[in-house]
């Protein structure tokens, strides 16, 4: 596939992060619309992987190209933030403001004014809440919600700026089996409806198979990503 058609491309990437071995990714291409789940990444490795993809850190070897530009050539904080907006990051590292309502938390990517938000922002937040299944929770405080709803707030914030690639970092780690099943199905539905690419990093094969149409497993010693054998969609 021509490089111009690839949103994210990794070649020969390695990054030492003080673990038993460095993170290695031999090759990965993410074209528009590719729905991908990745297995074989522990929590710290997943954080390093996401930081590499988004250009927050640079690889020790190899090259990462995001939206046509090597991450090593992104110039300055403003340029990096512009690139970052093209990714939707679904991660527990995204801090929720506990005393804010769901509506206010969802508005944060759209406006710095969340106590008296504009009609346009309020409309966009309502549409987002409907998409992620939080319409009935808009006026509840984020801090009192159970893990399933809190995960959906993070999903909504990841989607708020209409990213080209959704990256999820162990999104089901704090969820019960039932909540995880519903969340996986909703991620798959939203990604398909929006026509965006996705990379779902998880340790749960069932979640991976429900959230994405393709599942790859990392061989940490070589960095090769291999198709998971016996693929079938779970929770269906």
128 burial level (CB within 10 Å; 0-12, 13-18, 19+): buried
Among 134, 157, 180, the domain-final residue is: 157
Tens digit of each residue's pLDDT (9 = 90 or more) over 9-38: 999 999 999 888 999 999 999 999 999 999
Which H or E run contains 15? strand 8-15
Domain that holds residue 124: 93-157
Residues 139 and 22 in one domain: no
Residue pLDDT, tens place only, 108-125: 999 988 888 899 999 999
Task: Give which of 69, 64, 47 is closest to 170, Cα–Cα.
Answer: 47
Render pLDDT for 173-232 as a digit per residue (tens, 0 to 9). 999 999 999 999 999 999 999 999 999 999 999 999 999 999 999 999 999 999 987 544
From CA 175, how far away is CA 172, in angstroms rounded? 5
Quote the percentage of the chain above a pLDDT of 70. 95
**What's the structural domain count of the chain?**
2
Q: How far is residue 13's CA from residue 115's CA, in Å, rounded to a whole number?
A: 44
Same domain (yes/no): 200, 113: no
- Which helix (H) or strand (E) element contains residue 11? strand 8-15
Half-sphere exposure of 189 (CA within 13 A, CB side): 11
In a shared domain, residues 11 and 79: yes
Is residue 97 scored above 90 in pLDDT? yes
Domain assignment of residue 236, yes or no: no
């Amino acid at each position: 596939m021509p490089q111009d058609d690839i949103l994210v491309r990794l070649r020969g990437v390695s990054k030492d992060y003080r673990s038993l071995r460095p993170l290695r990714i031999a090759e990965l291409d993410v074209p528009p619309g590719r729905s991908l789940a990745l297995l074989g990444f522990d929590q710290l490795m997943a954080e390093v992987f996401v930081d590499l993809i988004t250009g927050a850190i640079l690889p020790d070897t190899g090259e990462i190209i995001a939206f046509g530009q090597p991450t090593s050539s992104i110039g300055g904080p403003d340029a990096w933030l512009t690139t970052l907006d093209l990714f939707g990051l679904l991660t527990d590292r995204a801090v929720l403001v506990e005393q804010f309502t769901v509506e206010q938390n969802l508005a944060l990517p759209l406006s710095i004014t969340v106590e008296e938000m504009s009609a346009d922002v309020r409309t966009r937040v309502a549409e987002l809440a409907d998409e992620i299944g939080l319409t009935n929770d808009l006026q509840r405080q984020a801090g009192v919600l159970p893990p399933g709803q809190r995960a959906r707030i993070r999903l909504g914030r990841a989607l708020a700026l209409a990213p080209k690639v959704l990256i999820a970092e162990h999104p089901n780690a704090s969820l019960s089996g039932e909540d995880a099943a519903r969340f996986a199905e909703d991620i798959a539905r939203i990604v398909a409806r929006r026509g965006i690419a996705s990379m779902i990093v998880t340790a749960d094969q069932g979640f991976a198979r429900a959230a994405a149409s393709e599942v790859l497993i990392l061989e940490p010693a070589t960095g090769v990503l291999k198709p998971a054998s016996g693929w079938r969609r779970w929770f269906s």
